[in-house]
Structure 1
Amino acid sequence: MLPETVLRTDDVAPDIRFDVWREAMAATMSPMHISSQHSSDFWGHTRLLTLDDVLLWPVAMQASRYRRTTELVRRGDPELYHITLVLPGSGRLRVDHSDRRHLSSVNDLYILDSSQPCDVEVEENELAVGIGVEIPRSNFPSTAEKGIGRITGHRISGQEGFGAVLSYFLSHLISRNSAHQPSDTPRLKQILLDLVTALAARELDSQASLCTETRRRSTFLLIRSYIQRNYHDPALTPRSVAAAHFISPRQLHRLFEAEGITAAAYIRGRRLGEARRRLADPAQYTTSIQTIAQRCGYTSAAHFSRSFSAAYGMAPREYRELEHRQQLDTELRSLTLPPAAGRDAIPA
């Protein structure tokens, strides 16, 4: 699990909640003037995750306004890029950065530069729900930094291209923090930096400006995300994946070879992993194995059974029954009184 700190205003006395929130935000982002019509009894919840010197903070909060003025910039500049991904449940955000203005809605991204004034406000009586990211500019080479600087303040779609991949990556990190170890930090951070760099290059239509290794990693992440979203399609093959990304099957093979796997094996692993999850899901216990196979991209139940048995050492039906028995055993143990609780602990 990555290092994590939690802040809930519900844990603080009502009369100081907004002051505590402002102090926490000032320590997380660049210094800003923060205001809210709900300051008398403010509600907010955030978690702070760290990837070395990069901070990620999923947040839900009442309508408020964040202003970084020219005066605050002159007083001190932490030289950060701030990224926001707007999540479902959020109202629209009015973003004013230098001379650029737009409204960000659900699934939008935008990037701010702490060296420039900005003004971000959540629509009145709405919640702000999203993921914030703070990245020191020093993490990027000068060429990449110039590209990112040219798209600050713009509304960027988080539903297509590298915007979609970045959105998926951020959401995955936040929702599955427990799946990662501190030792994963360098690689996760590098993936994040590569995606931001690639996003800027794509927005500026300057993919050629990326170094070869960054371009390779970015393309691989884009393709991997495509496979993760389309594994259920029986027509998904290495050839169709290559065609969807305007590269040759040979180029696709080289991309996956650099990661120590083949494209066919990755597609197979994605399908089998999802099938395994569905077979172990108590809510899908009555769903036929053939239906699960079809929902995971298999047109032949026999082929699915052979592939599953080869991967996990048992047939799908055996695996499902084993998982079901283990879940029942766990439930039964949870209903058993702990050893310290004898008969005297049972109410008369």
Structure 2
Amino acid sequence: MPVDEVIQDFRHRRFMEEGVRTVGGDTGMHARVRPIGTTLLIHATGSRSEFTRKPLDPGIDQIDITMVDRGEYSYLDDGRWHHVTSALMIAPSGLPHRVQFDREWEMTLLRVPRAMLLPYAPIIRDEIQLYPELTLFEGSVGTFARQLIVDDRAASGSEATAVERVIREMVGTLVQQRYGHDSGAGATVWDRALSAIRARATDPNLSPEQVARDVGCSLRQLQSILSRNDTSVAGEIRRERTRYARQLLRDSNADNLGIDEIARRSGFGSSSTLRRALGTLYERTPREIRQQPAGAD
């Protein structure tokens, strides 16, 4: 995938094509989008409006980091409107689904793959998280992102690679500062467990018992910590293997590999197990993943 791609502008018609539906009239929005590697940088402005948006494709596991540069808004959740004056929102992409603005507004949004954030913050809740103010560092991240969005110049290969690396580090640090200590004593165990799983997931003999030994705790303790976040050791092993398999399927250099070989390299016992895992996590078959356009990561 190219590190630096074409900047795009979104207005009412384009928003409608992307699944945004107004409650009445024009969306009143304009957005400018710049892809940087697997990250989307978005600067959006608008006026008074109310709209709904469809959730992103469930196969695309992304997190939105939204900085409110100007204005306030409300979102509908469980039948109740929540008025937001917070400067920062972190949430899975597609949340909230229904939003209302009562005045002119401006936002900067960074849409990043969840997998990119795992080394920085293993626990990212699947719900809306609001923070009242931006830190000095977070304000700098927003300023850097907006400068990249408004600048029409194309980056050279080396420059684009450097920009992508900086964006990754900045976003990772931002999330780490907000989430890194949210889970108490269990966060350290969780972090070590995910690191152990990522390091050895492609080993078909990796078991929950082995992960617990690597972490230095009992399997019961480890299962208890992961269950607080609605997951399990076996589930995380399967998730990491599935992500690795997806990377191979999306890698043009691996186009000559059959599904049986992809399954073997990913640590799965069979291609049928791999197919089920891909269907569960990404709701796609191996063929559909291979046929996805480059920008669909």
Q: Normalised by the size of structure 2, how large is the TM-score?
A: 0.49
Kindly indicate whether structure 1 or structure 2 has the higher relative contact order, using CA contacts under 8 Å at least 6 residues apart.
2
- Whichever structure has more helix as a proportion of its residues is 1
Q: Normalised by the size of structure 1, how large is the TM-score?
A: 0.43
